[in-house]
Amino acid sequence: MVSGAMGGLHNGMQQLPGGVFAMGSDRFYPEETPVRQVRVDAFWIDERPVTNEQFAAFVAATGHVTVAEQAPDPKIYSNMRPEMMQPGSAVFDMPTGTTDQAGWWDFRAGANWRAPHGAGSSIEGIEDHPVVHVAHADAEAFARWAGKALPTEAEWEFAARGGLEGADYAWGDELAPHGAMLANYWQGTFPYTNSLADGYLRTSPAGSYPANGYGLYDMIGNVWEWTDDWYAEALNAKRSQRACCVPANPRGGTRGGSIVKNDPTRIPRKVMKGGSHLCAENYCQRYRPAARYAQPIDTTTSHVGFRCVVR
């Protein structure tokens, strides 16, 4: 534990009381159903996602080399295209014409947390933005160094709700009340037009928008955030709902169960929460506490970050 390096273990964190809450949603995507009562114990959670500055301190102290800074192992990725067999990561680019999803993302050699847009870019001037291009193992390594851990899906959702029971968003049931931009998400028709009503095309400084009821920033939008739970489909949640008692500190599925059937690389997936600056009303309405997404643990992109907890 390196609380001195982080300025005190609980600095920049909020202590949450825990309790019973309604997890999930029946109003949006199938994987969020059903709404069920769960209980979490009290815990501390970072007020903001981990920033470039904080991650740089970790790397300086440990020499950690992220997944995106290493070439893929050809023994694992035997079907990977030759041009992708080098260090790099996925960067979003707004398309200039009609294209499919593959055209929105560019595997960019040299893209990593130090160079978020690829070779020649840097984090200079965006030190206070969330770190991106981190795989699950990178987030875990930071958390261990800091004497912390990654949140479970239930802990993360409890924190994101900020004490609001059953609300669609972290601030209520209206996305932009009276036109107010309360998170960094995409305004316009994704992926072709963005009005930038929130002021940002990509990431924004951590803490740029109002905190939720628990004093937490950027639980919605800006960057997706890793959790420590293996992804499981909604069926598992339905089974838990039939139990006689409220589940305490529920966890996700299993490592093996998180793997997509017929995936030749057999890469397991973890749950991500919160949506990102690329979520939009017309495409990905996952800028909500209940929203969840299955991300392969080796996959790094320009819109995925994390925050930590202490139990």
**For position 17, which CATH number holds?**
3.90.1580.10
**123 located within any domain:** yes
**145 located within any domain:** yes
**240 located within any domain:** yes
* Residue 218: predicted pLDDT: 98
The whole-angstrom separation of Cα 103 and Cα 19 is: 44
- CA-nearest of 204, 259, 214, 210 to 232 is 259
Q: Which two tokens stand for residue 108?
A: 């960019």
The whole-angstrom separation of Cα 226 and Cα 61 is: 22
Pairing of strands 224-230, 43-46: unpaired
* Residue 104: predicted pLDDT: 87
* 286, amino acid identity: R
**8 located within any domain:** no
SS3 135: coil
Going from the first residue of the chain to its last (311 residues), give the mean pLDDT of each consecutive group of 10, the final group possibly shorter: 57 97 96 96 98 98 98 82 87 78 84 96 98 98 98 98 96 97 97 95 98 98 98 64 78 95 91 98 96 97 98 97
- CA-nearest of 156, 210, 162, 155 to 184 is 210
Structural domain range at position 56: 13-310
Angle at 157 between CA 153 and CA 159, to 5 degrees: 120
The whole-angstrom separation of Cα 266 and Cα 262 is: 8
* Residue 103: predicted pLDDT: 74
* Residue 234: predicted pLDDT: 67
**2 located within any domain:** no
**6 located within any domain:** no
**286 located within any domain:** yes
> Length of the chain in residues, anyone?
311
Find tokens 């050809």 and name the residue. 74
Burial class (CB in 10 A: 0-12, 13-18, 19+), 137: middle
* Residue 101: predicted pLDDT: 57
User: For the whole model, what pTM was predicted?
Assistant: 0.93
Q: Are 171 and 210 in contact (CB under 8 A)?
A: yes
**5 located within any domain:** no
* Residue 9: predicted pLDDT: 86
SS3 160: helix
Q: Which helix (H) or strand (E) holds 136?
A: helix 136-145
SS3 22: strand
Pairing of strands 304-305, 224-230: parallel
* Residue 211: predicted pLDDT: 98
| Domains in the chain, number | 1
